Amino acid sequence: MVSVGLDYLTLDRRVGTLSGGEAERIRLATQIGSGLVGVIYILDEPTIGLHQRDNKRLLDTLKGLRDMGNTIIVVEHDRSTIEAADHIIDLGPGAGEHGGEVVVSGSLQDVIDCEASLTGKYLKNELKISIPTIRRQPRDNQYLEIIGAEEHNLKKINVKFPLGTFICITGVSGSGKSTLVEETLYRALARYFYKSRTKPGKYERMEGIHFIDKVIVIDQSPIGRTPRSNPATYTGLFTPIRQLFSQIEEARMRGYQLGRFSFNVRRGRCQRCKGEGMIKIEMQFLPDVYVPCDVS
């Protein structure tokens, strides 16, 4: 725990209150203690949400696992992680149907020297995100202020959020970012606007709430409410698609209504896979196996 920078955590801290970076490093800590050799560790964007100081600790931990005789495979966009890797495999050149190829595979210098690599162009600063020269000021000098926040490790702090601006909350992992924004600010606003029953973190009062009319949280939780949800159903795009299908001549001749073109209702979906496109095969003493539905 100390080697991955989690020496400040109490051992009775509830798992649900840990930040993503803290949970990731706890898993790494258990692997360091196991002393396993000859293992391939696969990590998906381990630096997401981490401060640069914590990035270094994480990279040192990964290098420690490597030095024990293991292989570390990391899917990552973070520059410091890319530069620390012994070998880089850059896929592309674009996204979706424009990707799926190995653009370059080799050392950091190989990636930088590859003209076809978009990653290489950013690494050598040929492409970069420009820094704005003018910063926007608060709208009509309006602020939302939370006073006396003291949930978890927050020290009864007062924080002002200038409205109408792009605000970044930063700090090392475990410094209280998620506690302040998600557990305290968002939950307090959700209780005020939507009568949410979720109890917010401890705070004395909030000022400036009359300047806003709603709050929306956009996080990484799964979209949709069923396994059949997809970007089209979640964004509402699937509704005009179903309307289009229901208006074609053959559909009207058969009397098909809108619901006939939805995989969320019995009449509009395959009854074998229930509209999921995959069949689950239960394996005794082994994880379930999923195969594509072969009903045409």
Specify the CATH number for the domain of residue 95: 3.40.50.300
Q: Is 198 contained in some domain? A: yes
Which one is predicted more confidently, 257 or 20? Answer: 257
Tokens representing 115 are: 């003209």
Do 28 and 103 reside in the same domain of the chain? yes
Q: At what angle do helices 52-67 and 20-34 cross, to 10 degrees?
A: 20
How sure is the predictor about 231, in pLDDT bands with cuts at 50, 70 and 90? confident
Tens digit of each residue's pLDDT (9 = 90 or more) over 135-182: 888 888 899 999 999 998 899 999 999 999 999 998 877 788 889 999
Domains: count for the chain: 3
CB atoms within 10 A of CB 1: 15
Q: Is 226 contained in some domain? A: no
The pLDDT, as a whole number, for residue 20 is 66
Residue 296 CA to residue 275 CA, distance in Å, equals 12
Chain-centre distance for alpha carbon 35? 30
Which of 180, 211, 242 is the last residue in one of the domains?
211
Do 144 and 119 reside in the same domain of the chain? no
Q: Is 2 contained in some domain? A: no
The stretch 92-97 carries a mean pLDDT of 87
The pLDDT, as a whole number, for residue 191 is 94
Instruction: Tell me the whole-structure pTM to 2 decimals.
Output: 0.69
CB atoms within 10 A of CB 80: 14
How sure is the predictor about 213, in pLDDT bands with cuts at 50, 70 and 90? very high
Among 155-159, 259-263, 274-278, which range has the highest average pLDDT? Answer: 155-159
Specify the CATH number for the domain of residue 275: 1.20.1580.10
How sure is the predictor about 19, in pLDDT bands with cuts at 50, 70 and 90? low
Residue 32 CA to residue 25 CA, distance in Å, equals 10
How sure is the predictor about 53, in pLDDT bands with cuts at 50, 70 and 90? confident
Question: Which residues span the domain enclosing 74?
Answer: 15-123
In Å, what is the CA distance from 232 to each residue of 48, 228, 237, 241, 245? 26, 11, 5, 9, 15
